[in-house]
Chain A
Amino acid sequence: MATLLLNRIDVPLRSYDLELSLELCSTLALVGPSGAGKTTVLRAVAGLLRPRAGRIAVDEDIWFDGGNGVNLPPEERRVGLVFQEYALFPHMTVRRNVEYARKHRADDYLERFGIAHLARAHPAELSGGEKQRVALARALARDPQVLLLDEPLSALDAHTKTTVRAELHDLLAELDIPVLLVTHDFEDAAALADHVSVIVDGRLRQSGTPAELVARPADSFVASFTGANLLHGYAEPTGNGSARVRLADGTVLSTADAAHGEVVLAVYPWDVTLAATHPDDSALNVIRAPIRSIAELGNRVRLTVGSITAEITTESRARLRLEPGQLVYASFKATGTRVVAEHQPREAEEREGRASATR
């Protein structure tokens, strides 16, 4: 399989510069909050935007090299880009949209994506999921070396999203070209990609498999992004390599990680157990609080208890007869907590950098 290489790409954004190096040969999801510069990366790879410096190459083919002025126009890069709102040509039928990328054998692509029956329809007549299939067929009809997907699921409603996500997952698994997708949703990233890179304020914060990011989040931002509860407190070592953390409300929690001073504890919702009575186990961290909200997500239920979120099965909820307002005991093991570094926003970092430079 080919390898897409982004070497020290530098693009000025509104409030900071995007600086990024990436290498991918399978499916990589670039995740981050809106405005982090994710779409900018895709546009730079596609040739729709010229970085200030850096190098973009697929194997031996150099698409952009700021050093010697190489900058291929988009039509000379074999790249498939699926836009967030799909960007189907509204004045052409589905077949013409696909034929735009490839004169011959367009029907093969219509068949492969199950849209042959829509060949004569115009984009305005299609559902969100159908539009996405047309956009994918059109992008792949170009026979690209790299596939780029911009927020592939964000234009869909919650109902179709699950189905389309499964379809997209199967399709990406069949492809033998590098796929770079961007999303602001970690769950989508984890479902679709082998590797996830978290990008914040124009910088790569952490890369790894979805499981690695959840197991060892680099800082409080990544932890929170991957779905963890963040608990701020003051840690005192207990002597055996673990620590006790006192929260602002006086609750004392134990963690298996070594820590000292101001810390952030990350606790994932699926590591939290709920009970109507105080659990007997003294090794557990326990927080007693009323249920603030309950949200059903398929066969899981998300409950907010005091300041933390717990995720349990619908069966557990039914068994415990949990209702909003009810006082419950939320408990989690010391090994279920991770001490993470406090995320420093870029501006604060730069302020400190300047301050230490003038000192």
Chain B
Amino acid sequence: MRRRLFAVAYVAAAVVALAFLLIPIVAIFAHSSPRHLVEQLSNPVVTDAAKVTIKTSVVAQLLILLFGTPAAFLLASRRFPGHSLAITLVELPLVLPPAVAGIGLLAAFGHFGLLGSSLEWLGITLPFTQTAVTLAVAYVASPLYIRQAIAAFESTDPNLAAASRTLGASPARTFFRVILPLARGGLIAGLALSFARGVGEFGATIMFAGSLQAVTQTFSLAIYAEFSRNFDATLAMSGVLVLFSIVLLAGLHIGLTWQRSSSTGSTSLFGLTTSS
């Protein structure tokens, strides 16, 4: 009898938990008719937000790939003084409240900020521009990619890099032909996480870039702005983001499966170790 009660109790708890997670998602699509939602997608607020979101997200993720990948490889393969400090630095934006990140960006790149006068001298104004959105997204999202990339590089077998070198390959060829393909899955997973975080960015963006339609207003900001004016438009945008999230989640799982199947061990820079 007791055993029976226990089984019923934990199955019921699981049902409640899953339902709680699912109901809001269903509600987004159930609130208005699908036709009505699709119509809303041609609303200028929605199309502008879509353009801003796509443009800033893509540029931000490209920047993250371009600078984050070498940074992650360096942190994964070399031990240097200040290494753990650098790791902490990478992780800091993850725990930092986004509003604080926004204030920090403003204090650094704003008119009266730390680097503001130097930027002004160069004729560059950042706050409340689309570039500011890109920077805010890159700032809050990059740690997710870099952390995952460090783990991916660390899990490639250092002997494979060493073998590549003894077979006559330069460090660059070793990186592109051996290390990168083996870490690929982990990098894709990291990029999916970073993309999701970047698209959902709100706090830092509104602080540093504001919410100007067609300039800095991303989906997340537009959902908030349209909330009291046109509820159906917010539902339509939310629906788009739900579908986007599902696609990203699939990418994340594919990436992680690849990573598991392709590597073991831990890495050192191109398989080289020094004896000092």
User: Which listed segment binds B: A20-28, A45-53, A265-273, A333-341?
Assistant: A45-53
For B170, the closest partner residue in chain A by CB is: A75
Q: In whole Å, how far is A157's beta carbon from the nearest beta carbon of chain B?
A: 20
Is B262 in contact with A100, judged by CB distance below 8 angstroms?
no
For A91, the chain B residues whose CB sits under 8 A away are 181-182, 262
> From residue 156 to 175 of chain B, which have CB atoms closer than 8 A to chain A?
157, 159-160, 162-170
Give a binary string over B212-249; 1 marks a CB under 8 Å from any A CB, 0 the rest: 00000000000000000000000000000000000000
Q: Does A288 reach chain B (CB closer than 8 Å)?
A: no
Q: Does A11 reach chain B (CB closer than 8 Å)?
A: yes
Q: In whole Å, how far is A75's beta carbon from the nearest beta carbon of chain B?
A: 5
Instruction: Give which listed residue, B166, B178, B275, contacts A74 with CB less than 8 A.
Output: B166
Give a binary string over B103-119; 1 marks a CB under 8 Å from any A CB, 0 the rest: 00000000000000000
Q: Does A155 reach chain B (CB closer than 8 Å)?
A: no
* Tally of contacts, chain A with chain B, CB under 8 A: 75
Given A91-B181, A101-B168, do A51 and B275 touch, yes or no (CB 8 Å)?
Answer: yes
Q: Does A89 reach chain B (CB closer than 8 Å)?
A: yes
Q: Does B273 reach chain A (CB closer than 8 Å)?
A: yes
Given A50-B275, A75-B168, A75-B170, do A85 and B159 touch, yes or no (CB 8 Å)?
Answer: yes
Is A46 in contact with B166, judged by CB distance below 8 angstroms?
yes
Is A83 in contact with B275, judged by CB distance below 8 angstroms?
no
Given A79-B166, A89-B160, do A48 and B275 touch, yes or no (CB 8 Å)?
Answer: no
For B157, the closest partner residue in chain A by CB is: A87
Given A48-B162, A87-B157, do A11 and B275 touch, yes or no (CB 8 Å)?
Answer: yes
Q: In the complex, A111 Cα to B247 Cα: how many Å?
A: 46
Q: In whole Å, how far is A46's beta carbon from the nearest beta carbon of chain B?
A: 5
Q: In the complex, A75 Cα to B164 Cα: how many Å?
A: 8
Q: Does B33 reach chain A (CB closer than 8 Å)?
A: no
Q: In the complex, A100 Cα to B166 Cα: how many Å?
A: 11
Q: In the complex, A45 Cα to B275 Cα: how many Å?
A: 14
Is B159 in contact with A74, judged by CB distance below 8 angstroms?
no
Q: In the complex, A81 Cα to B159 Cα: how many Å?
A: 11
The interface size bin for chain B is: 20 to 34
Q: Does B100 reach chain A (CB closer than 8 Å)?
A: no
Q: Does A73 reach chain B (CB closer than 8 Å)?
A: yes
Given A48-B273, A50-B275, do A100 and B159 touch, yes or no (CB 8 Å)?
Answer: no
Instruction: Give which listed residue, B167, B170, B274, contacts A101 with CB less than 8 A.
Output: B167
Is B275 in contact with A142, judged by CB distance below 8 angstroms?
no
Is A49 in contact with B177, judged by CB distance below 8 angstroms?
no
Q: In the complex, A52 Cα to B272 Cα: how many Å?
A: 15
Instruction: Give which listed residue, B160, B170, B262, contacts A87 with CB less than 8 A.
Output: B160
Q: Does A33 reach chain B (CB closer than 8 Å)?
A: no
Give a binary string over B240-276; 1 marks a CB under 8 Å from any A CB, 0 the rest: 0000000000000000000000110000000111111
Q: In the complex, A269 Cα to B41 Cα: how many Å?
A: 88
Q: In the complex, A38 Cα to B273 Cα: how many Å?
A: 16
Q: In the complex, A79 Cα to B168 Cα: how many Å?
A: 9
Interface centre among B160, B164, B166 (most CB of A within 10 A): B166
For B264, the closest partner residue in chain A by CB is: A90
Q: Does A35 reach chain B (CB closer than 8 Å)?
A: no
The interface size of chain A toward B, counting residues with CB under 8 Å, comes to 29
For A10, the closest partner residue in chain B by CB is: B275
Given A83-B159, A87-B157, A91-B262, do A74 and B181 touch, yes or no (CB 8 Å)?
Answer: no
Given A89-B178, A91-B182, A91-B262, do A48 and B160 touch, yes or no (CB 8 Å)?
Answer: no
For B166, the chain A residues whose CB sits under 8 A away are 46-48, 74-75, 77, 79-81, 139, 142
Is B157 in contact with A75, judged by CB distance below 8 angstroms?
no
Q: In whole Å, how far is B162's beta carbon from the nearest beta carbon of chain A?
A: 5
For B262, the chain A residues whose CB sits under 8 A away are 90-91
Instruction: Give which listed residue, B164, B182, B263, B271, contacts A100 with CB less than 8 A.
Output: B164
Give a binary string over A57-84; 1 marks a CB under 8 Å from any B CB, 0 the rest: 0000000000000000111010111010
Is B169 in contact with A75, judged by CB distance below 8 angstroms?
yes
Q: In whole Å, how far is A56's beta carbon from the nearest beta carbon of chain B?
A: 14
Given A89-B160, A91-B181, A91-B262, do A100 and B275 touch, yes or no (CB 8 Å)?
Answer: no
Is B163 in contact with A83, judged by CB distance below 8 angstroms?
yes
Is A87 in contact with B162, judged by CB distance below 8 angstroms?
yes
Q: In whole Å, how far is A82's beta carbon from the nearest beta carbon of chain B?
A: 9
For A81, the chain B residues whose CB sits under 8 A away are 162-163, 166
Q: Does A138 reach chain B (CB closer than 8 Å)?
A: yes
Q: Does A325 reach chain B (CB closer than 8 Å)?
A: no
Q: In the complex, A47 Cα to B171 Cα: how many Å?
A: 13
Q: In the complex, A171 Cα to B159 Cα: how many Å?
A: 24
Q: Does A12 reach chain B (CB closer than 8 Å)?
A: yes
Q: In whole Å, how far is A24's beta carbon from the nearest beta carbon of chain B?
A: 18
Given contacts A81-B163, A83-B162, 14 further A-B contacts (CB under 8 A): A46-B166, A47-B166, A48-B162, A49-B272, A49-B274, A50-B276, A51-B275, A52-B275, A73-B165, A74-B166, A75-B168, A75-B170, A81-B166, A142-B168
What are 29 inter-chain pairs, A to B, with CB distance below 8 A? A12-B275, A43-B162, A43-B273, A46-B162, A46-B166, A47-B166, A48-B271, A48-B272, A49-B272, A49-B273, A50-B276, A52-B275, A52-B276, A74-B165, A81-B163, A83-B162, A85-B159, A87-B157, A87-B159, A87-B160, A87-B162, A89-B160, A89-B178, A90-B160, A91-B262, A100-B167, A100-B169, A101-B168, A138-B167
Interface residue ranges, A against B (CB under 8 Å)? 11-12, 43, 46-52, 73-75, 77, 79-81, 83, 85, 87-91, 100-101, 138-139, 142
Interface residue ranges, B against A (CB under 8 Å)? 157, 159-160, 162-170, 177-178, 181-182, 262-263, 271-276
